[in-house]
Each structure stands twice: as C-alpha cells, then as structure tokens.
Amino acid sequence: MTDLGPVTQALEREVAAELRRQGVVVWLDKDAHYRGFVDALAQRAKESAFPHPVVAFRGSFLELLFELEPFGSGLDKQPVLIHMPGFNEESIRATPVLELYASGVRFRKSFETLVREAAVGRVAASEVDAFLANEPSLEEADRWLAAAMSGRSEDLLRFLEDVGPAVLVEALGGDP
C-alpha cells in the first residue's frame, strides 16, 4: 500500500476493515467516482496485495453473476466487495444483486467526506474547502494531500534549521 496516495490509502484501509467486519459488502457508488480505484483494487486483489476479492459491475449482470458465483452461497459470509457504480438504494433493488445487497452490508463513501477525513490534522479545513471547491478526482486529491504533507515537513525542517539546535534544546527544557 506504500505506492498509494494518502487519500487512497485511507479509503483502502476503510474498505478492508469493513470487509473484515461484515463479509459481503456492496458498494453503491452513485456517481461512479471510485471506479478507477475499484479497478486498481481488484487488480491488487488478484496479485494478493489486497486481502479480499473484489467484483465490479461493468455493464453486464451476467458477467457479474458469474464472477459472484463462488461467494455468498455458504453458511459463512466469505468477504467480497461488490462495486455497483451508478446505483443507489432504490436502483439496486431492480438488479440481480439485490439478494447479496440484502444479506450483506452497504458501503457508501462521499468523496468530500473521504478527503476531509484523510486531511484531518494534516491540512487546515479552509484549505480542504478550497481544494474541494474545484471538484477534484481521487488522483488529484492524492497528489494535493501528498504535496501539502511534504510541504508541512519541509516547513518544519526549515524552521528547525533556522532556529538551530541550541534554541531547540532550550525550548525542550535543557541547557544549551
């Protein structure tokens, strides 16, 4: 997960935790905002870099049902993430995924909420508001937060270089 951006890392951690807790998770992605993320996550799952299987609806319910065949038929809920872009609580009811949706757990994550949660303690809320006003993508959010975080550490480094070790030791309560 180290090559992922900070926003993507936060999302992947949350999805993995939900799968561990709940088993079958149906991700309703009304605006298809996370399609690229889910495709990458499915690839990571195939490479064993993500611990749970990922099945994504990509236009064919028949293909989706074939991919889902190994899941949801036993007594124990085997963890599986089912991504349903373009669907919400109402439209999912008219699909063959309804049974898994009803027996599993719904996952929904507002992009704005995701960015705000990932940025907590790292970037001022006003900066987050300004960034979100431009309606960025997940990739843009990763680049923005990574740059903001590296800028903060560079600012701290410059400050420490400016004040010098004597002032720092004195501020920490020691003798210079």
pLDDT number for residue 162: 64
Please indicate, yes or no, whether residues 36 and 65 belong to a single structural domain of this protein.
yes
pLDDT number for residue 4: 84
Residue-wise pLDDT for 5-14, tens only, equals 999 999 999 9
Please indicate, yes or no, whether residues 23 and 77 belong to a single structural domain of this protein.
yes
> What's the angle, vertex CA 52, arms to CA 47 and CA 55, rounded to 5?
85
* Residue 34 near residue 138, CB atoms below 8 Å: yes
pLDDT at 163 over 90: no
Mean per-residue pLDDT for 63-89?
Answer: 86
Please indicate, yes or no, whether residues 78 and 153 belong to a single structural domain of this protein.
no
Residue 176, domain member (yes or no): no
Q: How many CA atoms lie within 13 A of 32 on its CB side?
A: 9
* Count of C-beta atoms within a 10 Å radius of residue 11: 25
* Residue 66 near residue 37, CB atoms below 8 Å: no
